[in-house]
Amino acid sequence: MRTRTRCKLCGKKAVVTLPYANTRLCKEHFKEYFTRRIERTIRRYRMVSPGERILVTVSGGKDSVALLDVLSILSEKLGFKIHGLTLDLGIKGYSSEYVRVAEEVYGRLGVEYTILSLKETYGFTIDEVAGIKRRVCAYCGLVKRYVFNRYAWENGFDAIATGHNMDDLLGNALFAIMRGDLEALMKIKPVIPGREALVKRIRPLAFTREKDIKLYICLKKLPVVRTTCPYAVGATSGVFKSKINELEDRFPSIKYSFARTLYDKMQIQMEESDYQLRKCKICGMPSKSQICGFCRLRAELGKISL
Amino acid sequence: MRTRTRCKLCGKKAVVTLPYANTRLCKEHFKEYFTRRIERTIRRYRMVSPGERILVTVSGGKDSVALLDVLSILSEKLGFKIHGLTLDLGIKGYSSEYVRVAEEVYGRLGVEYTILSLKETYGFTIDEVAGIKRRVCAYCGLVKRYVFNRYAWENGFDAIATGHNMDDLLGNALFAIMRGDLEALMKIKPVIPGREALVKRIRPLAFTREKDIKLYICLKKLPVVRTTCPYAVGATSGVFKSKINELEDRFPSIKYSFARTLYDKMQIQMEESDYQLRKCKICGMPSKSQICGFCRLRAELGKISL
């Protein structure tokens, strides 16, 4: 049975079996395969055009570190420029850790970057949010989306690349479908086009599995943050993610076809009113209501008055 | 802890806990609840109008037997008429069993009925289909849909009621979503409106769980066929059904919200061409192609020539 452990492309020792692709690959061919899959995703959805400037948000986790690594490889071939952004959320015992990891990765890959401090720029930390809010993760998500978008907009970036991987996107999608949240479902796409002051968001890992990301990180010996966020609790969507993985064990092509359904086939219709964007009265950034969620949060924290 | 085993409505001994409804009920109140849920489904989707004649297809399985029982109770209150139809598919060692059960149920409930023999009416049996086809279940489904519809159409029925329960519908929906079959997904609705010679199809059990159906059958001591179809193999959609049940154990309202998403919120857009119906050149019934699948099958069996 020795042949079973050989790379299908070169016959060297295989490090991984990919049932969904019906193949086994050695170290080198896996890395190539991993990069090529992301390149294909970028091309298929025309995520970037030559000459564009892409802001890559790096949290120091495996997804964003792998994304930065691959984009730094592809940027020359596809003719775009990347710049890293890491947001220091001010979470004690955690933020300093991932900022350190991110800086290490930026340095190793030679990628230009910015470390943005939430405290210095907007006067508060996520620890302060945790003091007044129960659903910290939801607010932290809001804060990150706002800060990333505003930074990209003010600095003239063409797109924001985030490390959302296939498993997370599908898990979130299933959760959204089952709880009937079509507005959330609508946003689970490889590309969310920009409009007005909302910068285009791209997800080059939309067809990349979590398992493969872990292996890539390991094979390339990339540093990732080992501490977990103190506010992280077992996310509900994780349950849905693992159900999908159980289904993929049985039907190896199911995740891919589910992704194609979500990304390409399903057109969710929304009420026109759900699309409308105004300008926040306080900060001028896009908002569904008169005052955006970020400014309302800052007001609740006593940092600004409405 | 004695109170925990009491009916929430009357305090008598509870026979069931319904986590999704956050309640416990005794025998009598469960039966009432079960019937009322189906009545609500019929009303919500305006499945029937007073004076209409409904053809109820009865396979002798738990779903169709429970459906017939409840519709016979509701028919007076809601002012419609029911007629049972059982198709003898000619499956050796199985068809005679369920025909016997169906006749027993019809007799006990005093419902008018027809037993239609596939062999006598169309000259073939499912056993013969099994001789030339691998995917018997798919062809059996085609045959049933055709024969039910033609019978309903030719006999002037306003709707065909089938026993598809919530678990089956949701399992099929998840399977359809994940494999990207939006045409199948589109049909997973409580009501499929009629058009031309396609008679309206209604699914009054669209919000009724399999578990509850089993309990209802048991409490009402209704006969159901105990033999399994010899062609039944573990259906793929069963895997999806059980994943959904595992999710419901964790999130008791998830099945209901998933059903509402599917039935009410999701509007699947299809190509215009997928909608078009012609008339089959052979039998004149609605068909997507020149000759309908049923006639093609009969031709393959040598019963007619094209």
Please state, in angstroms and as integers, the Cα–Cα distance from residue A272 to each residue in A42, A269, A276, B30, B266, following that order.
29, 9, 7, 43, 16
Residues of B in contact with A183 (CB under 8 A): none
pLDDT tens digits along B17-57? 999 999 999 999 999 999 999 999 999 999 999 999 999 99
pLDDT for the residue B27? 96
Contacts of B250 in chain A (CB under 8 A): 239
- Answer whether A158's CB lies under 8 Å from A191's CB: no
Whether residue B258 and residue A180 make contact (CB cut-off 8 A), yes or no, is yes
Q: Distance between CA atoms of B302 and A129, rounded to whole angstroms?
A: 75
- Please, are residues A289 and A201 in contact by the beta-carbon 8 Å criterion? no
Rounded Cα gap, residues A152 and B32, in angstroms: 60
Low-confidence residues of chain B: pLDDT under 50 = 1-3
**Rounded Cα–Cα distance for residues A116 and A159 (Å):** 18
What is the dihedral angle through the alpha carbons of A22, A25, A31, A32, rounded to the nearest 10 degrees? -70
CB pair distance less than 8 Å for B178 and A260: no
Orientation angle between helical segments B236-250 and B166-179, nearest 10 degrees: 110
Q: Which residue of A has its CA nearest to B263?
A: A180
Residue B251, token pair as written in the block: 């999130």
Q: Which of B118, B120, B129, B208 has its CA nearest to residue B164?
A: B208
Tell me what pLDDT residue B271 has. 54
* Contact across the interface for B247 and A243, Cβ inside 8 Å: yes
Tell me how far apart the alpha carbons of residues A41 and A204 are, in angstroms, rounded to a whole number. Answer: 6
Q: Please enumerate in sequence order all residues whose Cβ is within 8 A of that of A36, keeping only pairs 6 or more positions apart, or say none.
A: none
- Picking from B239, B267, B269, the nearest residue to A250 by CB comes out as B239
What is the pLDDT at residue B213? 98
Say how far apart CA A194 and CA A201 lie, in whole Å.
7
Query: B207 — phi, psi (to 5°)?
Result: -115, 20
Asked if the ipTM is above 0.90, the reply is: no
CA A98 – CA A109 distance, rounded (Å): 16
Closest-CA distance, B102 to chain A, in angstroms, reads: 36
Q: Answer whether A239 sits within 8 Å of B250, measured CB to CB.
A: yes
Exposed, middle or buried by CB within 10 Å (0-12, 13-18, 19+), for A276? exposed
- Single-letter amino acid code for the residue at B206: A
CB contact under 8 A, A180 and B243: no
The reported pLDDT for the residue numbered A46 is 97
* Residue A196, pLDDT score: 86
Domain boundaries along the sequence of chain A: 46-270
pTM: predicted TM-score of the whole model, two decimal places? 0.89
B258, A182: Cβ pair inside 8 Å?
no
Which residues lie across from B114 on neighbouring strands?
A: B85
Q: Do A257 and B182 touch (CB under 8 A)?
A: no
Partners of B278 in the β-ladder: B287
CB atoms within 10 A of CB A289: 10
* Residues in chain B within 8 Å Cβ distance of A243: 243, 246-247
Answer whether B287's CB lies under 8 Å from B296's CB: no
With CB atoms and an 8 Å threshold, state whether B267 touches A266.
Answer: no
All residues at 6 or more sequence positions from A84 whose CB lies less than 8 Å from its CB, including other chains: A55, A56, A57, A58, A68, A102, A105, A106, A111, A112, A113, A114
Question: Which DSSP letter does residue A187 get?
Answer: T
Q: Please check whether residue A244 is in contact with residue A40, taking contact to mean a CB–CB distance below 8 angstroms.
A: no
Least CA distance to A243: which residue of chain B? Answer: B243
| Inter-chain touch B254–A178, beta carbons under 8 Å | yes
Spell out the CATH class of A46-270: alpha beta
Q: Which of B180, B258, B266 sits opposite A265 (nearest CB)?
A: B180
Instruction: Specify the CATH number of the domain B27-270.
Output: 3.40.50.620
Residue A21 makes CB contacts below 8 A (sequence gap 6+) with A33
| CA atoms of B229 and B95, how far apart (whole Å) | 8
Mutation for A interface: B169, B175, B178, most A CBs within 10 A: B178
A265, closest residue in chain B (CA to CA):
B180
Cβ separation of A250 and B260 shorter than 8 Å? Answer: no
**A182/B177 Cβ within 8 A:** no
Contact: A258, B182; criterion CB under 8 Å: no
Instruction: Give the ranges where A45-116 is alpha helix by DSSP (H).
Output: 62-78, 95-109
Q: Which residue has the tokens 């079960």?
A: B34
Cα–Cα dist B143/B294, whole Å: 6
- B93, B230 contact by CB (below 8 A): yes
Residue B306 confidence (pLDDT): 84
Residues of B in contact with A236 (CB under 8 A): 251
CA distance A6 to A17: 10
Interface of A with B (CB under 8 A): 177-180, 182, 236, 239-240, 243, 246-247, 250-251, 254, 257-258, 260-261, 265-269
**Which pLDDT value is given to residue A276?**
78
Pairwise CA distance, residues A103 & A115, whole Å: 8
Distance from CA of B146 to the nearest CA of A (A): 29
Residues of chain A with pLDDT under 70: 1-4, 234-235, 268-275
**CB–CB contact A260 B179 (8 Å):** no
Q: Which residues in chain A have their CB less than 8 angstroms from residue B260's CB?
A: 180
What tokens does B178 get? Answer: 């994940």
What Rg, from alpha-carbon coordinates, does chain A have? Answer: 20
Q: Which residues of B touch A182 (CB under 8 A)?
A: 261, 265-266
Longest dimension (CA), chain B: 71
Task: Indicate the SS3 state at residue B248.
Answer: helix
CA distance B77 to B109: 16
Asked if A177 lies within 8 A of B261 by C-beta distance, the reply is yes
Evaluate whether B210 touches B217 at the Cβ level (below 8 Å): no
pLDDT of res. A216:
98
Residue A306, Cβ density class (10 Å: 0-12 exposed, 13-18 middle, ≥19 buried)? exposed
Closest in B177, B239, B265 to A182, CB measured: B265
